[in-house]
Amino acid sequence: MRPALRNAVMTTTATAVLLGGIAATATPASAVGSSTCTRNDKNHSVRGPNLEWPAIRTGPGVAYKAKGHLDSAGEFWVECSAKNKYGNRWYYGESLSSSTYGMKGWVAASWF
């Protein structure tokens, strides 16, 4: 391989690796558990609204991946809660809905 072509390939590869690393650090963590909670809300459950299917997310915000949904009017057991950087409260707990029973995650408190 000629030196000029080799340098171009190396520069392109290095740039791609660097940009991939920046993209990886700019996205939110893939999973955030109850350690993020700032308020203890244990020992109560809430029901989702009729004809709506709130997302169960991996962290307290819409930027986190949705891993499931509560059923319409589904029940969610709240363990704790936290506010995200926008001031929105999110509940962390476990789904008691039939389709996602036992799934732990975060649901926006505004749904309840």
Structure token digits, residue 78: 């709240």
| Average predicted confidence (pLDDT) for the chain | 79
What is the rounded average pLDDT of the residues 24-47?
A: 73
What's domain 34-111's architecture? Roll (2.30)
Contact 60, 78 (CB under 8 A): no
What is the rounded average pLDDT of the residues 76-104?
A: 94
What is the rounded average pLDDT of the residues 69-94?
A: 93
Q: What is the pLDDT of residue 35?
A: 84
Residue 71: pLDDT over 70 = yes
Structure token digits, residue 61: 């915000």
55-57 sheet: strands from edge to edge: 39-47, 75-83, 89-95, 104-108, 55-57, 66-69
Cα dihedral: 43, 47, 52, 56 (round 10): 10
Q: Which residues pair with 80 in a beta bridge?
A: 40, 92
> Which pTM does this prediction carry?
0.69
Residue 102: pLDDT over 90 = yes
Residue 6: pLDDT over 90 = no
Domain limits, the chain: 1-29, 34-111
Q: What is the pLDDT of residue 27?
A: 44
- Sorted by sequence, the CB contacts under 8 Å of residue 3 that are 6+ apart come out as none
Residue 19: pLDDT over 50 = no
